[in-house]
Structure 1
Amino acid sequence: MHVALFTDLHPDSLGGTQVSVATQRRALEQRGHQVTVFTAPLPKSVDPDPGVVELKPVPVLAPVMRRLGRHDDFMFVWPSKRNRAIIDEAFRNRGPIDLVHTHGDLGVAIAGVIAARRHGIPVVQTKHTRFDVYFEQATATPLPLAVLFAQMQKRHLPPDFNLLPAKEGAASRLAWRLMVAHAQAVDHEITPTRHFAESLARRGVSRPISAISNGVDDDIIDRATAIEVLGAADDEPLRLIWCGRLSSEKRVLAAVEAVAKVDHCTLDIYGDGHLEPAIRKFIESAGLSGRVRLRGRVDREQCLVAMRSSGALLFTSYDFDTQGLVLLEAAAMSLPTIYCDPALSETVPDGGGLLSANPTPDALAAAIRVLVEDRAKLRQMTDIVTTHRDTARQSLQTDKIIDIYHSLVDPVPA
């Protein structure tokens, strides 16, 4: 079949959603399906991809939204008449399109829902982001951004949804209206975790919901695990690794502060983002340059190889990530995780992670100290994670997604 993926973030930018979309595309194509990706452009130029159709951003607002959203790769797209024409032309020239699958809740994803309804084909959505906490934790102006996207929702998504009440602020409530309205406008909803699916149902989503994990590219797993690496001996410092976007909601500074409180451990940070200057300043002022290293942005395979030579992943996001793709990558590399958000215990293999008492740097430091002082426990956790290392393979998740596609494209007669 021919699947159109609509994603708010360009697949070549940094982040779990982008990796998930690129990985799903590759897995579908490996099974003989055709995939066309509709997305926002990047601020910088990238190599052309014949399978990608870039929509047009709002010229004046795009750079402003990038600053307010504190996301260097985000380009603000409105489901405009101009973008409708781009989509319809692509559907004509590349069609027929059998199904639309949106990834996200913003302009490109909404344009995908509208296109599916306009062309009379089924539409599936995968939600990756809790926009209620994203607006509050990751942006400079939560309420104005929430109001702007609420206007997009009101103009372009059907009004027949019922948001169930909860105690929350105005920005959070508007974000939930957007998320519920979008979920109710599609034929099938996918979430990466059960707890996110349950949250959507509690807020009023009555469409079919399937919890299907994100996945890690099978070929990248195989290549990364085939490379010889040398781990640290028990008498050497514990090697910790942190991977992701260097932004406030990921709490990378909490990771550095925690490591600063514990002797006999090091931290390698992979990724880039607007907090990089602040992190460098803290490392220098705290005298940590010998123990905390900023490795910059690398490709996924390099990151996975680095995980294999590490002792544990330090994952500091709290009450933000719906799953955390890095957690799956760590499990695929037999790497235990130190984390602080109990909701993510659904993703961390039971016995293969260490949950801190709370999200503070002091509590994270206490968890790190446990593994610094007890390498036998670390080995036991590693052995447990190893038994789960194949569960995150994208091939397993794609089979479930294709089953949903077939149920919508080729429904069984009643």
Structure 2
Amino acid sequence: MIGAGDVDGAERPLHVVLFADQHVETSGGAQVAMRLQRRFLERLGHTVTVVAPRRHGRDLPGAGDEAYVDIPSIPVPTDREYAFVWPGSRADRAVDEGIARRVARGAPLPDVVHVQADFWGAFLGVRFAERAGIPLVITMHNRVDAGIEATTPAPRLVLRALNAWRRWQLPGSGPGDDGWAHLAGLASRAAAVTAPSAHFARRLEEHGVFRPVDVVWNGIDDGVLADLGGGSAGAAGEQAGVARSEDPDVRGREGGGTGSGAPGEQAGVARSEDPDVRGSEGGGSGSGAPGEQAGVARSEDPDVRGSEGGGSGSGAPGRARPGDPRRAPGGSTGSGAESGAEGVARSEDPDAHGSESGGVGSDAGGGPGGGSGSGAPDGPAAPVRLVWVGRMSPEKRLLPFLEALAASGADARAEVIGAGFELAAARRLVAARGIAGRVDFLGRLPYRETLARVRAADALVQTSIGFETQGMTPFEAACLGTPAIVSDPDIADEMGGGVWRVEPAAEEPARVAALADALRVAVRDLRNGRAPRPAERVVREFRQSSRTDAMVAVYRRALAG
């Protein structure tokens, strides 16, 4: 059986075999994370092979990539971008033959299996590690129980069936009938388990899945961050010692970013040829501390955003525009009188009082504040720019966000990036609620352009609750200097700053009302230059280069036994 013989060299390059439930060139946060992991592992001299379902269609990105071992699959009828694999002996043979071809073409023998899957990809990866006699590392990306509850009509029955399937595919993997039992069964043969957030790692340990669970965040591409002018304290990545990306996937493969920041080709409906979509896995559940007053978001960080520099590079939307709503119109926030109404939190940072200048720059798009360098308003304020990014499915709560936007009455315009089967319902909702003119559906966008639009926005909106194991988009926004309106208390806790918390509620109507309140508070804070500043720790530690170093350390520990 194919497997590495010598595992004694502590610093030698490794051959890592990744297993996924969906092809990594499809849409989804886990897929984006795996593409980045591969790219940064290869930059360090390691070899990466990716085992995943074969895609269906023509002119598919990465179709000739020899690192991909595509397993025979059946397309999902409702969305042929995704596929299903029956993980039987035929699939096992396809795995072995594909990796053997990879080795025959010059790749070293595999050293470690890294499963980043929950279903067929996990079964295949666990069994390959056993056949090859090499260590197994598993990254838990998903709250299986929460996802099944959100997407199936009989979740308990589905979970029982899933665990029965798991015991059939992996004999001896343990009892149990819930989502945690399924994850524990997968982890029962692992040398190490990682999670993309501290709160999800804690839950995995509390439910007996594995102990200890290593926390390794998914990260943001260092080169893209540098190109877009993100990074610590508003410094561009190059100033922070981060190399610009040389990978064409992140430097203009899509035609140089977003240009002037205008929406997609026609009313935001044009689909990119690159399936990179932000969204999907990230950020667990729980019941974090509520805000200061019921239904009212409070700023998590008293620091007020300073004045960021302008360009984002390569045609990306710029940040320095007249009357940037994260700056105080007229050069001051005054005495904070605006915070007295409706429970709006007042910043405790003395820098917030009189230190921000009015907007600068000359972007023709204008800014929500409408101010000039002297602080005098030039005309009517433009709407605050919000961005929502993700898969359009119930657990992501796009429809509740659009309901809340309509109910809030806030002077805001939203860009919705992503795709999914709820798109038609979302279009009907905005038309029925009279906000179609304030919502742009941009479809799937390339990774770099998505990040450029997040950077250009005034705030990002995160709406899933109890589903995410990390919640990547608020972290990416933080690295780009964009604060976030966060519905999941666990994500807000992990970020440590730069957010408006949405008040938790038990029922969906109350959640929608709380989100509407949070939108009003955020728009008011942005208008008055009082947006919270993202935590420096997130900006510093979320870079993919540091996350890859952390994962390599896990691999080497697993190899050492």
- Provide TM-score, normalisation by structure 1: 0.89
Listed one character per residue, the Cα deviations across residues 349-376 of structure 1 (whole Å, up to 9, x for unaligned) are x231011112512111111111222237
Of 78, 87, 90, the residue aligned with 1:79 is: 87
Of residues 9-18 and 29-38 in structure 1, the stretch that sits farther from structure 2 once superposed is 9-18
Letter in 2 for 1:138: T
Report 1:329-408 matches (<5 A).
329-348=476-495, 350-358=496-504, 360-375=511-526, 379-381=530-532, 383-385=533-535, 388-408=538-558
In the TM superposition, residue 148 of structure 1 has moved relative to its aligned partner by 4.0
Secondary structure of 1:354 counterpart: strand
**Cα distance in 2, alignment partners of residues 297 and 246 from structure 1:** 11
**Cα distance in 1, alignment partners of residues 150 and 216 from structure 2:** 26
Of 55, 70, 74, the residue aligned with 1:54 is: 70
Secondary structure of 1:268 counterpart: strand
Of 183, 200, 223, the residue aligned with 1:196 is: 200
Is contact 1:249–1:320 with CA below 8 Å preserved after alignment? yes
What does residue 170 of structure 1 align with?
none
In the TM superposition, residue 126 of structure 1 has moved relative to its aligned partner by 0.3
Is contact 1:327–1:347 with CA below 8 Å preserved after alignment? no
**Cα distance in 1, alignment partners of residues 210 and 26 from structure 2:** 33
What does residue 180 of structure 1 align with?
184
Is contact 2:184–2:210 with CA below 8 Å preserved after alignment? no
Is contact 1:193–1:346 with CA below 8 Å preserved after alignment? no
Is contact 1:72–1:274 with CA below 8 Å preserved after alignment? no
Report 1:3-22 matches (<5 A).
3-22=16-35
Of 428, 431, 445, the residue aligned with 1:281 is: 428
Of residues 123-132 and 336-345 in structure 1, the stretch that sits farther from structure 2 once superposed is 336-345
| Cα distance change on mapping 1:30 and 1:133 into 2, 3 Å | same
Of residues 192-201 and 309-318 in structure 1, the stretch that sits farther from structure 2 once superposed is 192-201
What does residue 159 of structure 1 align with?
172
In the TM superposition, residue 331 of structure 1 has moved relative to its aligned partner by 1.2
Instruction: Identify the structure with bigger relative contact order (alpha carbons < 8 Å, sequence gap 6+).
Output: 2
In the TM superposition, residue 379 of structure 1 has moved relative to its aligned partner by 4.4
Q: Does structure 1 residue 117 correspond to structure 2 residue 117?
A: no
In the TM superposition, residue 342 of structure 1 has moved relative to its aligned partner by 0.8
Secondary structure of 1:347 counterpart: helix
What does residue 224 of structure 2 align with?
220
What does residue 167 of structure 1 align with?
none
Is contact 2:167–2:173 with CA below 8 Å preserved after alignment? no
Secondary structure of 1:100 counterpart: strand
Listed one character per residue, the Cα deviations across residues 293-347 of structure 1 (whole Å, up to 9, x for unaligned) are 1111101111111111111011110111111111221112111110111111243
Larger fraction in helix = 1
Is contact 1:193–1:211 with CA below 8 Å preserved after alignment? yes
Report 1:319-338 matches (<5 A).
319-338=466-485
Letter in 2 for 1:176: W
Q: Does structure 1 residue 91 correspond to structure 2 residue 99?
A: yes
Of residues 148-157 and 266-275 in structure 1, the stretch that sits farther from structure 2 once superposed is 148-157
Letter in 1 for 2:95: I
Listed as ranges, the gaps of 5+ residues in structure 2 are 1-13, 104-108, 230-311, 322-366, 370-380, 506-510
| Alignment coverage as a number of residue pairs | 392
**Cα distance in 1, alignment partners of residues 178 and 210 from structure 2:** 19
**Cα distance in 2, alignment partners of residues 378 and 249 from structure 1:** 32
Is contact 2:458–2:526 with CA below 8 Å preserved after alignment? no
What does residue 169 of structure 1 align with?
none
| Cα distance change on mapping 1:38 and 1:134 into 2, 3 Å | same
Secondary structure of 1:129 counterpart: coil
Letter in 2 for 1:339: V
**Cα distance in 2, alignment partners of residues 143 and 73 from structure 1:** 28
Listed as ranges, the gaps of 5+ residues in structure 1 are 164-172
**Cα distance in 2, alignment partners of residues 371 and 18 from structure 1:** 31
Q: Does structure 1 residue 309 correspond to structure 2 residue 456?
A: yes
**Cα distance in 2, alignment partners of residues 189 and 388 from structure 1:** 22
**Cα distance in 2, alignment partners of residues 377 and 86 from structure 1:** 59
**Cα distance in 2, alignment partners of residues 43 and 176 from structure 1:** 32
**Cα distance in 2, alignment partners of residues 148 and 222 from structure 1:** 46
Is contact 1:124–1:189 with CA below 8 Å preserved after alignment? yes
**Cα distance in 2, alignment partners of residues 16 and 336 from structure 1:** 20
| Cα distance change on mapping 1:379 and 1:300 into 2, 3 Å | farther
Is contact 1:334–1:386 with CA below 8 Å preserved after alignment? no
**Cα distance in 2, alignment partners of residues 240 and 318 from structure 1:** 19
Secondary structure of 2:504 counterpart: coil
Alpha carbon RMSD of aligned pairs, Å? 2.1
Secondary structure of 1:97 counterpart: coil
Is contact 2:21–2:120 with CA below 8 Å preserved after alignment? yes
Is contact 1:78–1:108 with CA below 8 Å preserved after alignment? no
Is contact 1:38–1:52 with CA below 8 Å preserved after alignment? yes
